[in-house]
A and B are shown apart, each in its own frame.
Chain A
């Protein structure tokens, strides 16, 4: 499964990371090296082995459905790039 320059551009778009044309070739080389390392996995037969998602065999806890957090929106929004009237501001998405 070798990667192409078009793949790199597609992945970068999915990851929402801008990539300049001149960066595509070196990034392709680096990603291909890493995927080459990863390729070793395919040599091992894993039929019938259950995937291990997590180190501990535990299930998610449930809690009582009640409010546990206090309202801290001012403290949390103080670190935001752009806020107005308690709302996060982003570029317009609808005309």
Chain B
């Protein structure tokens, strides 16, 4: 059962072969067994989850269930869920019980899904290894010496270890795709504006986007159908007609044009990852796709541009944590300014402070033009690269990450080397495009390799189709770690 697709679970629930309470309980038991070691969840509340399961069972009994009714889903601890502790991986919010639901949570509630718990993450989603969490590192279920990736590392590990049938994530510079790749699961970051950011704790607002993380593209399509949609309470939510993201899953890939950016196969890509990606491309050719070489010439600039824009937005967004309205407040202080300073010094971890300081600096008087404005101009060049590339192809493919999962502790003392590991994912956020990662094999050390699929704006249904057809022909997405 733990390897069943969402569709299979929904059929079992609809046929009354299993109840949502039984299903939820079985995942809670698995979490109880595995989580003490893997640390994928920050908060588990069996009572709350089972109450939702009972409500779902009533809906199912009345024949009112939808495709996600009664299905337990792990929620990244960045999404506010009413009555649930919502920490964003930070000491700053260690005691924060969300008084309202994020739009994403509300949508899952309306669909009758069960909140299975809140997953671990890098503090305020700032990290690529899940090592910056105040609640401890997460281990990669494939190899406990390895990181699961980040920032949605807890969600990725939970799905990979089959502690949850599916999970949510958020992606500002690769935080859905990179952990999905490193743990051998499927995840999609939609086009910016497709999933509401309301109640999703802000990191860099012009880049943040929520999305599903699951075992397969088909599951992701079903989850995205629930997560996506216009929301008046997010000023950048896009008012577009409702889509069925699963509508094209069955389309054959004959004549599909895949663009391979030469910059994604250049120096820095590990040979075992390159080889595994090439094998996946060969599989796509067998499925009828054609390959064209393309160029994204400004790829190298995406990291410096990101490390100006994201910290700048973060320094502004995180100004709200001042110890006054919610969250941590330092126990001792002299006056108001001292309270702010001590609260923020004690409540934030080292990486978050670094980014706030960088952001404060690049926005400060005299430096704005040289850093922030310059980065915004380069952001346009990076986005233009993709516009040009999509004149030549339907989707872009390449590795999600330059190497398989690195070791815990390997990069945690060297922020810049950690930043460089996001070289293939960041440009997609800067452009606002949709991107996903699917498992396509294993590297020399037995750790998973992810293939990145980048689509044009609003190309989610096409990308999910492209991913699903591969998953019909291969079984990498069904592989499970031995635990």
A residues with CB within 8 A of B: 1, 3, 7-8, 11-19, 27, 30-31, 33-42, 44, 46, 49-56, 58, 60-61, 63, 72, 75-82, 88, 90-93
B379 at the A interface (CB under 8 A): yes
* Docked pose: A27 CA to B355 CA in angstroms: 11
Q: Is B371 a contact of A38 with CB atoms below 8 Å?
A: yes
Q: Which of B326, B341, B416 contacts A16 (CB 8 A)?
A: B341
Contact (Cβ within 8 A) A8 B381: no
Main SS of the interface on chain B? helix
* Docked-complex contact B337 and A56, CB < 8 angstroms: no
CA A33 to CA B303, docked complex, whole Å: 13
Within the assembled complex, what's the spacing in Å between the Cα atoms of A56 and B209? 13
Is B254 in the interface zone, CB < 8 Å from A?
A: no
Q: Which residues of B contact A8 (CB under 8 A)?
A: 357
Distance in angstroms between the alpha carbons of A31 and B415 in the assembled complex? 10
Q: Contact mask B51-89 → A, CB, 8 Å, 1/0? A: 000000000000000000000000000000000000000
Instruction: Kindly report which residue of chain B lies nearest to residue A45, judged by CB atoms.
Output: B377
Question: Across the interface, do A11 and B304 meet the contact criterion of CB distance under 8 Å?
Answer: no
Report yes or no: B354 in contact with A51, Cβ–Cβ below 8 A.
no
Q: Are B378 and A80 in contact (CB under 8 A)?
A: no
Residues of B within 8 A of A33 (CB): 415-416
- In the assembled complex, the CB of A13 is this many whole angstroms from the nearest CB of chain B, namely 8
Q: Is the CB of A40 within 8 A of B301?
A: yes
Query: In the assembled complex, how far is the CB of residue B123 from the closest CB belonging to chain A, in whole angstroms?
Result: 14
Q: Is B469 engaged at the interface, CB distance under 8 Å to the other chain?
A: no
CB atoms of B235 and A60 under 8 A apart: yes
- Interchain residue pairs A-B with the least CB separation, the first 6: A55-B432, A51-B376, A81-B329, A18-B341, A18-B345, A52-B380
Q: Given A27-B354, A58-B238, A88-B324, are A37 and B416 also a contact pair (CB < 8 Å)?
A: yes
Q: How large is the interface on B (under 10, 10 to 19, 20 to 34, 35 or more residues)?
A: 35 or more
Residues of B404-425 whose CB lies within 8 A of A: 415-416, 419
Is B315 engaged at the interface, CB distance under 8 Å to the other chain? yes
Number of A-B residue pairs with CB-CB distance less than 8 Å in the complex they form: 171
Q: How far is the CB of A89 from chain B (nearest CB, A)?
A: 9
Chain A residues near B326 (CB-CB < 8 A): 76, 79-81
Contact B419 A37 (CB under 8 A): yes
Q: Considering residues A17, A46, A93, which has the most beta carbons from chain B within 10 angstroms of its beta carbon?
A: A17
Cβ of A37: which chain B residues have Cβ within 8 Å of it? 303-304, 307, 416, 419
The reply to whether B378 and A44 form a contact with Cβ atoms under 8 Å apart is: yes
**A-B contact list, 26 entries, CB within 8 Å:** A11-B357, A15-B344, A16-B340, A16-B341, A17-B344, A17-B353, A34-B358, A37-B304, A37-B416, A38-B304, A40-B304, A41-B301, A41-B305, A42-B370, A49-B381, A51-B373, A55-B207, A55-B432, A56-B193, A63-B232, A76-B99, A77-B325, A81-B323, A81-B327, A92-B336, A93-B335
List A contacts of B430 (CB < 8 A): 55
Q: Is the CB of A11 within 8 A of B360?
A: yes
Residues of chain B touching chain A, judged by Cβ–Cβ distance below 8 Å, are: 95-97, 99-100, 192-193, 206-207, 232, 235-236, 238-239, 300-301, 303-305, 307-308, 315, 319, 322-329, 333-342, 344-345, 348, 353-354, 356-358, 360-362, 364, 367, 370-371, 373-381, 383, 415-416, 419, 430-432
Q: Least Cβ distance of B459 to chain A in Å?
A: 14
Q: Is A52's CB under 8 angstroms from B307's CB?
A: no
Q: Looking across the interface, which residue of chain A has its beta carbon closest to that of B353?
A: A17
Q: Please name all residues of chain B whose beta carbon is closer than 8 Å to the beta carbon of A12 when the two chains form the complex.
A: 357
A75 CB, min distance to chain B CBs, angstroms: 4
State A50–B378 Cα separation when bound (angstroms): 9
Selected contact of B380 from candidates A51, A61, A72, CB within 8 Å: A51
User: Which of B329, B357, B370, B375 is within 8 Å of A17, CB to CB?
Assistant: B357
| Min CB–CB distance A35 → chain B (angstroms) | 7
Contact A11 B361 (CB under 8 A): yes
**B345 with A31: CB separation less than 8 A:** no
Chain B residues whose C-beta falls within 8 Å of the C-beta of A13 in the assembled complex: 341
For residue A28, give the distance in angstroms from its CB to the closest CB of chain B: 10
When distances are taken between beta carbons in the complex, the residues of chain A under 8 Å from B341 are: 13, 16-18
> When the two chains form their complex, are residues A90 and B324 in contact, meaning their CB atoms are under 8 A apart?
yes
Given contacts A31-B361, A40-B301, A91-B333, contact A79 B99 (CB under 8 A): yes
Q: Which residue of B lies closest to A8 (CB)?
A: B357
Using A8-B357, A12-B357 as known contacts, list a sample of 20 further A-B pairs with CB atoms less than 8 Å apart, ordered by residue number in A: A1-B367, A13-B341, A18-B342, A27-B357, A31-B357, A34-B354, A34-B415, A34-B419, A41-B371, A44-B301, A50-B377, A52-B377, A54-B236, A55-B207, A56-B193, A56-B236, A58-B236, A75-B99, A78-B99, A79-B99
Tell whether, in the assembled complex, residue B339 and residue A15 are in contact, meaning their CB atoms are under 8 Å apart.
no
Name which of A3, A34, A40, A93 has the most chain B CB atoms within 10 A of its CB.
A34
A58-B240 Cα distance, complex, nearest whole Å: 12
Chain B residues closer than 8 Å to A63, beta-carbon distance: 232
Report whether A11 and B364 are in contact in the complex, using a CB–CB cutoff of 8 Å. yes
Whether the pair B336, A31 counts as a contact (CB closer than 8 A) is: no
Task: Please state if B377 and A91 are interface contacts (CB–CB under 8 Å).
Answer: no
CB pair A16–B337 under 8 Å, yes or no, is yes
Q: Which residue of B lies closest to A61 (CB)?
A: B235
> Quick check: A17 and B345 within 8 Å, CB to CB?
yes
